[in-house]
Amino acid sequence: MTIIPELATWNLTPERKERVIPFVEPTPVREVSLIHHKFTTKLRLIQTVLNTITDVIPAYMKIKESYQRIDIGPV
């Protein structure tokens, strides 16, 4: 068994897509954060990266729904 992100399934061949089994509720989620120093001079670069990421994410994935956080161990 291999767990792959939903966006990665877009590039699969039809034969491989047939083998993908989606999660049942509750489905796992992933949060992506950008962290920077508040006095950074690279704000345009950070904004460009943010825009690039959000432009490729489908609208239904941008909807924030409540989810339960489960810590699986020390980092």
Q: State both tokens at 66.
A: 């409540």
Q: Specify the pLDDT at position 6.
A: 85
What integer pLDDT is reported at residue 18 of this predicted model? Answer: 92
Distances, alpha carbon 62 to alpha carbons 2, 42, 54, in Å: 24, 25, 8
User: Could you read off the pLDDT tens digit of each residue along the chain, which spans 75 residues?
Assistant: 788 888 889 889 999 999 999 888 877 877 777 777 777 778 888 889 889 988 988 888 887 777 777 777 776
Domain boundaries along the sequence of the chain: 6-62
Residue 25 Rama label (left phi>0; alpha psi -120 to 50; beta): beta
| Token reading at 5 | 């992100």
The pLDDT of residue 75: 63
pTM of the model: 0.52
Cis peptide before 26 (omega within 30 of 0): yes
